[in-house]
Amino acid sequence: MDYSSAPAAPRALGSKKDYLLGLVAGLIIGLLCLPILKSAQPALYERLWIFVVPFFALGVPIGLIVASWIARFVSLVWQLAKFLVIGAMNTLVDLGVLAFITAVTAGATLSSDHTWFTAATLVVTYYSLYKGISFIIANINSYFWNKHWTFHSRETEKASTQFLQFFLVSIIGFAVNVVVASAIFTSFGSNGLFSVAQWGLIGAACGSVGSLIWNFIGYKFFVFKK
């Protein structure tokens, strides 16, 4: 039987460089998880902290291997998998910076003997500012990882234009992020179910998910389109 005309099996899209970068991303994610987990769930942190970094350092490359296999049939899965890894990292950068700023300034802005309304107003005002700072820092990290790894952009002649496009998409994502985070924090931050700091982290995580969806669409079809 002649097999010369049989179609070749789809090739996996991952390379050694991809998996090495995945390992680095996993290590960063694991390290960033530690202070956030300690702040949000101290008891859980005491039990699991030793496993957090190895879990992500191994889990991210393994997840990329699985995504690479699936991408042989649906190529978008490979790009989306890398974007989600970077999205997870940026979410943790966002949360980590927010938790750090909140911890440093807690005595001045998150604790008050004033009435509930006045205290809440102060919390929301400062929280929105801190959330904006943390998002901007995470966004800078996002640009370099997505440009050089997720979308493999080699654009150099129009790099400034590309960055402006990235910034425009990110500004809209920034608005989505802050509005969603602040809305959740304002609505639920004083219900007593979680602490103020924990509701801050929950709001930040939800805001990050909303901006993640918007950013992937904008980056792929507007900023780094080929």
pTM of the model: 0.70
Distance CA 132, CA 178 (A): 7
pLDDT at site 55: 95
When pLDDT is cut at 50, 70 and 90, the band that residue 1 belongs to is very low
CA distance 134 to 96: 8
Question: Pick from 23, 187, 196, 190: which is nearest to 103 by CA?
Answer: 196
User: What is the C-alpha to C-alpha distance for residues 185 and 47, in angstroms, rounded to an integer?
Assistant: 28
**What is residue 148's DSSP assignment?**
I
pLDDT digits 0-9 by tens, 15-25: 889 999 999 99
Distance CA 140, CA 133 (A): 11
Tens of pLDDT, residue by residue over 102-130, are 777 765 544 434 333 444 444 455 777 88
How high is the pLDDT of residue 128? 77
As a whole number, the mean pLDDT across the chain is: 80
Cα separations in angstroms, 203 against 82, 111, 176, 192: 24, 19, 12, 15
Instruction: Give the residue from 193, 172, 180, 169 showing the smallest Cα distance to 127.
Output: 180
